[in-house]
């Protein structure tokens, strides 16, 4: 069995954050702070107009390193040109907020400041988080530049959100939220910018189902759907078309993911079977109930009327049905959340359910499994390949799973 250690044990990733001029620049403070706290080395460049909104001192404090401006670019205080040093240093460049002006410069290869010179002097992936007034964002010239720049595989664009803008306009043009930017950064650091799921349609189930006895009581489990969310994010960031079928959730669905909320196992079964024919990869990460109350009351039962022994009946075995109906070109991945010995029951489920891959993850280990932001697991497939992934974030776990699948079953 091969082992895969968490990337936190490797050299710290290096991210160069470039701040453009716009009110959304204040959001970058949270991005820089969060990256530093996660162990990423951060350097910051501010354009001249960015300094009208936020100071170099603020970002220097958050990154624990001096922030660079055009004044540094033109000073002969470095042994090598600053833009060359920064361009070679970075594993990833993030431009947030990306203004219409910087977008135009990048599209046509112009370099008249530290930011644009550094981008041209680098070869790493570049993440773009645009932000501007709705009319500006929707200008034909801006959209043409945006689409043209994204034809270069180096550049990875984040969608703008709609809402109330600083100009009091309600519409498109809001910069992606810091948490979404940070998630995309970690994805790009893992993949190096590869888009190996382009053209793939990924169907994912997530979260727990609820089987109601009456309008207020149900049989359920502690699943929050965070693992399924991470799988959807990872697949989306690698270029896939993602459909996420999820139970009750307290997280936001990523822009670009088709999300279908359900409650019961029967509802999840109907949706999964509906979308199965068009899927290339199906990931059944949901924690589906095993049984449901045999009888349902449309009104809340008084406490005195609750049965001493609750009659139950099985719910549909969704993953078994998917396995029976899937086509040879489709891959079906299941999850087995276990305590104690996780491998033996996972191998049994892999065979009896006729899965292509199964993820065995312990739910009795600290900071892993249900409700946690982290996980650990062992991947197994029908060809006796086995990979152990050490404790890491669920996003990283999701990427390791797609790495495992694509390397052996692409």
Binding residues: 290, 300, 316-319, 335, 349, 353
Q: Are strands 281-284 and 201-206 parallel, antiparallel or unpaired?
A: parallel
How far apart are alpha carbons 3 and 388 in whole angstroms?
Answer: 5
Q: Which residues pair with 89 in a beta bridge?
A: none
How far apart are alpha carbons 409 and 326 in whole angstroms?
Answer: 15
**H/E element holding 134?**
helix 134-137
Binding residues for CTP: 290, 300, 316-319, 335, 349, 353
The DSSP secondary structure of 181-197, one letter per residue, reads HHHHHHHHHHHTT--TT
Q: Which two tokens stand for residue 289?
A: 């109930």
Residue 26, C-beta contacts closer than 8 angstroms, at least 6 positions apart:
53, 54
Q: Are 289 and 263 a contacting pair, CB within 8 Å?
A: no
Q: Are 104 and 145 a contacting pair, CB within 8 Å?
A: yes
Torsion of the alpha carbons at 104, 106, 107 and 108, rounded to the nearest 10: 90
How far apart are alpha carbons 13 and 41 in whole angstroms?
Answer: 6
CA-based radius of gyration for the chain: 24
Beta strands in 65-177 (DSSP E): 92-98, 126-130, 155-157, 161-164, 170-174
**H/E element holding 291?**
strand 291-293
392 annotated active-site: no
How far apart are alpha carbons 237 and 256 in whole angstroms?
Answer: 10
Indicate which residue of 18, 124, 167, 392 is catalytic: 167
Q: How many residues does the chain have?
A: 410
Place of tokens 């991470």: 230
Place of tokens 């759907």: 225
Q: Are strands 331-338 and 312-314 parallel, antiparallel or unpaired?
A: unpaired
Place of tokens 């009888």: 295
Q: Are 343 and 379 a contacting pair, CB within 8 Å?
A: no
Q: Are strands 2-4 and 281-284 parallel, antiparallel or unpaired?
A: unpaired
Q: Which residues are catalytic?
A: 167
């Amino acid at each position: 069995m091969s082992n895969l250690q968490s990337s936190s044990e490797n050299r710290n990733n290096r991210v160069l954050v470039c701040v453009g001029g716009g009110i959304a620049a204040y959001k970058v403070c949270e991005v820089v702070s969060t990256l530093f706290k996660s162990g990423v080395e951060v350097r910051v460049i501010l354009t001249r107009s960015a300094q009208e909104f936020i100071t170099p001192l603020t970002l220097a404090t958050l990154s624990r390193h001096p922030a660079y401006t055009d004044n540094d670019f033109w000073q002969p205080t470095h042994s090598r040109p600053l833009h060359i040093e920064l361009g070679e240093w970075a594993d990833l460049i993030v431009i947030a907020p990306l203004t219409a002006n910087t977008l135009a410069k990048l599209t046509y290869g112009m370099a008249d400041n530290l930011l644009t010179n550094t981008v041209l002097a680098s070869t790493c992936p570049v993440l773009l988080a645009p932000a501007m007034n709705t009319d500006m964002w929707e200008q034909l010239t801006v959209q043409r530049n945006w689409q043209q720049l994204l034809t270069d595989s180096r550049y990875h664009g984040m969608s703008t959100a709609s809402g109330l803008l600083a100009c009091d306009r309600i519409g498109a043009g809001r910069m992606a939220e810091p948490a979404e930017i940070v998630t995309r950064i970690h994805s790009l650091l893992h993949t190096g910018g590869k888009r190996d799921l382009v053209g793939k349609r990924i169907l994912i189930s997530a979260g727990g189902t609820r089987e109601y006895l009456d309008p207020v009581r149900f049989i359920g489990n502690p699943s929050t759907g965070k693992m399924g969310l991470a799988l959807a994010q990872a697949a989306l960031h690698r270029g896939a078309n993602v459909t996420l079928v999820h139970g009750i959730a307290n997280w936001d669905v990523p822009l670009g993911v088709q999300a279908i909320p359900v409650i019961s196992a029967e509802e999840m079964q109907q949706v999964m079977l509906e979308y199965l024919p068009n899927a290339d990869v199906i990931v059944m990460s949901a924690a589906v109930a095993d049984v449901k109350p045999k009888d349902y009351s449309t009104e809340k039962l008084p406490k005195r009327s609750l049965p001493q022994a609750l009659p139950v009946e099985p719910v549909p075995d969704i993953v078994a049905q998917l396995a029976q109906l899937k086509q040879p070109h489709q891959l079906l991945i299941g999850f087995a959340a276990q305590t104690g010995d996780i491998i033996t029951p996972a191998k049994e489920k892999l065979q009896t359910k006729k899965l292509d891959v199964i993820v065995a993850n312990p739910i009795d280990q600290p900071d892993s499994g249900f409700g946690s932001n982290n996980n650990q697991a062992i991947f197994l497939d029908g060809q006796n390949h086995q990979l152990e992934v050490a404790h890491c974030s669920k996003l990283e776990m999701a990427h390791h799973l797609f790495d495992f699948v694509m390397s052996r079953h692409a």
